[in-house]
Structures are given as structure tokens and as C-alpha cells.
Amino acid sequence: KFGQVTKNSPTLVRNNSDRHQSKIVRTRMTGAKSPWLQLTKTGEIQNVAISHGEGKFVATSELLSVLTEKGQVISQYVDQDNVPTMDERYNPNGSVQAIEGIISEDGHILGKMGHSERMGQDIFKNVIGEYDQKIFEAGVNYFLNK
């Protein structure tokens, strides 16, 4: 739904560090109720590049409860034990509840901080992990077959 931005709307603000962050982070997929996520599994750990100065996701506690209840939180920043964290080493912007990505109620709109397009052969050679989040492939498949 398109509507007016209110004081209760979720938004992105300056990182807790008040500086630009550019690094590889680990995320855990927490939901798959979206055409964009049909090729991912809940609990899957993925690496993704981030590069931003205003990437801290904030929302009211009421809205966070709704997003969680409706399965709209789709990915969170996690530490080396795959646990969502507020530790800046793993959640570089300080996003509440370590949220990295959300979807609209119907799952058609996906919003995330990480640069999912930054993947491919011979990229990030020194950082082992899965970088292809398969969201583009899943989205194209869905909309071509709709």
C-alpha cells in the first residue's frame, strides 16, 4: 500500500557509528513468504556486501511486532554463531532487532540493506561464503510465469 509517511513509518537513519560502513556481513534468512525468496530457505546463512552511511533500520515497537507476526522480517544480521546481534562487528549500522531486510504484506515488495547484486565468479575471493541470494532469479521466474 502506498500512503503518507507518518511518525510511525519504518525508516533508515544514520549508522550508530555515524560513518560509512563498507564490508561483508553475514545474514540469516528468517522468512520466505515472497516470490523473491522462493529459492532460499529459512535459516540459511548468506554473505552480502554492504556500503552505506544511513542503513540503520528503525521502527516503533508496535510495528516491529506486526512485521514479526506477519512474517515480514526476512533477514537479520548474525554473528559467527548465527545469532542475531546488535554487535557493530556484525550489525554494522545498529538496525533494531538486527533487521537487514523486510517485505510487504503480500510479499511483492522487498527492501533490504545488503547489495545482493554484488556477487559473481571471482568476487570476494578471500571471503568464503554464499553470495548469490537467488532473489533476482526467483523474482524473474515469478514475474515471467505470472
What is the residue-level pLDDT of the chain in tens, covering all 146 positions? 667 888 888 988 899 999 999 899 999 999 778 999 999 999 999 999 999 899 999 999 999 999 999 999 999 999 999 999 999 999 999 999 999 999 999 999 999 998 888 877 777 777 777 778 888 889 899 988 87
pLDDT at 126: 75
Burial 63-83 (b: 16+ CB within 10 A, else e): ebeebeeebbbbbbbbeeeee
Residue with cell 545488503: 114
Comparing CA positions, the residue from 130, 133, 94 lying closest to residue 115 is 133
**Would you state the cell numbers that stand for residue 108, as one nine-digit string?**
511483492
Task: Indicate the SS3 state at residue 49.
Answer: strand
pLDDT at 1: 61
CA distance 11 to 93: 13
- The structure's pTM equals 0.88
**Would you state the cell numbers that stand for residue 98, as one nine-digit string?**
538486527
pLDDT at 32: 76
pLDDT at 3: 75
Number of helices followed by number of strands (H, E) in the chain: 2, 7
pLDDT at 146: 77
